[in-house]
Chains A and B, each alone.
Chain A
Amino acid sequence: MIRQLLRYPSARAAFVILAVVAVLAVFGPFLAPHDPLAQDGSALLQPPGTRYWLGTDALGRDVFSRLLAGSTVSVLASLLSVSIGLVLGVVPGLLSVFLGRRFEWINLRVIDALMMLPFLVFAIAMTAMLGNGLVQAMFAVGILITPAFFRVTRAAALSIANAEYIEAARLMGASTSAILRRHVVAKVLPPVAVAAASMTGACLSIVASLTFLGIGVVPPDPTWGGLLATDLANLYDRPFGPVAPALLIVATVWALNALADALRDSGRKETAA
């Protein structure tokens, strides 16, 4: 599987980027050369240099250290949102195809309703009203991305639900749960994996947007989105300030999308063979 993916140059690049991000997420706080919260009053808004590699912010804090320290929270937040979305989306998506029309109708309407919510506004409202915090933000985003997983799962399940081999199994007396286990689940997982990869990227971007607005994270704690926000606020003084956090976000999101594309392509080749 992995070897097949590595045939795509974009997937190789994506793996390298994601490996770096993973290292940052796990070891970032320990790799930071300075205390990310320590303020150096003598060095405010410094340009990149030898002491502070990426310069300092308006409070004299080392941007590079804050970037490293913020990795864990940023990555973890999007992963947890995706996990919530996965659980809430995949199971009903699968069952909506196999559990009768009434269950299907209700599921479809609830998912439609979730899709009709103004995404970021709702995420903000939900996070703020549930008591502004990271967990609340992840939960809100997780619920709001549920339709993506629901739809992918349902589409994949629908495409096999009417397959003749499913009917053949039913004619041999197989129950719905037996059919799901034996014929359906394994075929639904690949597209769900593709969706999970690209949604992780999307969540990273969403969590960044939220933290950018000061939602979900308490100010002194660094996150990628939060860093971007302070850098944008100081755009006149440090026009290149936002480049590093923006680049990190964009690269990670791109890598996840590229991985998703490669996964999809290799899956397609396999079925075509």
Chain B
Amino acid sequence: MTTISEPAPPQAAPIVTGRTIRLRHGKALLRHVGGTLGITLPVFFIATLITFLLGVVSGLDPAAGIAGDAASPETVARIRTDLGLDQPVVFQYLHWIGGVLRGDLGTSWFNGVPASELILQRLPISLSIAGVALLVGVVFGLGLGLVAGVRHGGRLDRAITLFAALVSSLPPFVVAFVLILIFSLWLGWLPSSGYVPFADDPIGWLAAVSIPAVALSVDVIADLARQLRTGLVVALSENYVTGAVVRGLSRRRILFVHVLRNASGPALTVLALKVPMLIGGAVVTEAIFNMPGMGKLAADSALRGDVPVVQGTLVVSILLILACNLCVNILLGVLQPAARRRS
């Protein structure tokens, strides 16, 4: 071999210390969190703008409703001015979103009750269903995905993949119908309708919530299982797995410390995308199980043209969804700093 008269240091840059690296990583993490927030805010405003425009485009006029059928055009015009409806749409939006940010969602055109009050009454029901569905979906979805991914190509994997493919073709109400048939009609274990608050009777709450939540979670289970399986199959074929094997690490350690972390990306991304489906899907389950949740409130209000309540439910849903997404995206950045750098 050659002798190098002036060997280059392995690093071109001047000597760095562990402290500088730690600082650099801290800054990168802050930038990631900042960047995620920087995307979330405009998304919030665009989503609420769409929500607001829905009311404008509907052509429903609260002034006419308030004034009554017999009112003169002048009265209607005066009420319109009072409500600010004669201003440009942008100003109306800014006025409305200002109220929203202060917690004022307006009052129902139908019964004059503040929309926030109506929503707050219904929120626990919807959150119960969506929350339990999310929990069930994550536990079983990740569990099945893990098994399928580790045993990929095997019989268990094929069974899980087939299950996922079948189940994702099912609309949630079909699953609900099958579950009602089995657990309510035949076995009589669970009620097929109604809701019991958790504070009143936790067991009753669980019984009431379980069928709708499971019905809703099936789709989450299928999608999470599929994504985690794909992620695992890809990650298991990566070189660092071979490297870890050659280093003499145990199978379990390789799977849970090294592979799972890098394989969870697609599953977590899909999980974030599933949250809007869960909150939206609660409408159907609430209808089937005759539960007075937020989705039912939105549907009923929409059908009778109660714009503030509809907008209120949508805004609350959007906030919940954005919060979940924010958490997942930050988590992804923490779990996979390399992926964070790429995006």
Chain A positions within 8 Å of B, measured between CB atoms, are: 109-110, 112-130, 132, 201, 205-206, 208-209, 212-213, 215, 228, 232, 235-236, 239, 242, 246, 249-250, 253-254, 257-258, 261
Contacts and interface: CB of A to CB of B under 8 A. Distances in A.
A118 B279 contact: yes
6 contacts: A119-B277, A122-B314, A129-B310, A212-B173, A232-B177, A232-B288
A115 B270 CA distance: 12
Contact of B169 (A126, A209, A212, A253): A253
B280 A122 contact: yes
B211 interface: no
B50 interface: yes
B85 to A, nearest CB: 16
B61 to A, nearest CB: 13
A236 B181 CA distance: 9
A118 to B, nearest CB: 4
B174 A249 contact: yes
Interface string B42-55: 11101100110011
Interface of B: 39, 42-44, 46-47, 50-51, 54-55, 57-58, 60, 165-166, 168-174, 177, 180-181, 185, 273, 276-277, 279-281, 283-284, 287-288, 295, 298-299, 302-303, 305, 307, 310, 313-314, 317-318, 321-322, 325
Given A118-B318, A121-B298, A254-B169, A126 B43 contact: no
A109 B281 contact: no
B168 A257 contact: yes
A112 B60 contact: no
A109 B321 contact: no
A242 B280 CA distance: 23
A250 B322 CA distance: 31
Contacts of B321: 116-118
Contacts of A232: 173, 177, 288
B129 to A, nearest CB: 13
Given A126-B54, A129-B55, A215-B299, A250 B173 contact: no
A235 B174 contact: no
Contacts of A128: 299, 302-303, 305, 310
B281 to A, nearest CB: 6
- Main secondary structure on chain B at its contact with chain A? helix
B169 A129 contact: no
A121 B295 contact: yes
Nearest to B165: A257
B283 A120 contact: yes
**Residue from A115, A122, A205, A236 with most neighbouring chain B CB atoms (10 Å):** A122
A36 B55 CA distance: 37
CB-based closest 7 A-B pairs? A128-B302, A113-B46, A129-B58, A120-B280, A119-B280, A118-B280, A118-B317
B171 A205 contact: yes
A112 B325 CA distance: 11
Given A115-B276, A128-B303, A254-B166, A209 B314 contact: no
Given A116-B43, A246-B177, A129 B318 contact: no
A239 B192 CA distance: 14
Contact of A113 (B47, B173, B305, B307): B47
Contacts of A127: 302
Given A121-B317, A129-B55, A213-B299, 9 more contacts: A112-B39, A114-B47, A117-B276, A117-B314, A118-B280, A119-B280, A124-B299, A208-B173, A209-B173
Contact of B171 (A129, A249, A258): A249
Contacts of A109: 39, 42-43, 46
Contacts of B298: 121, 124-125
Contacts of A132: 303
B42 A115 contact: no
Contacts of A253: 169-171
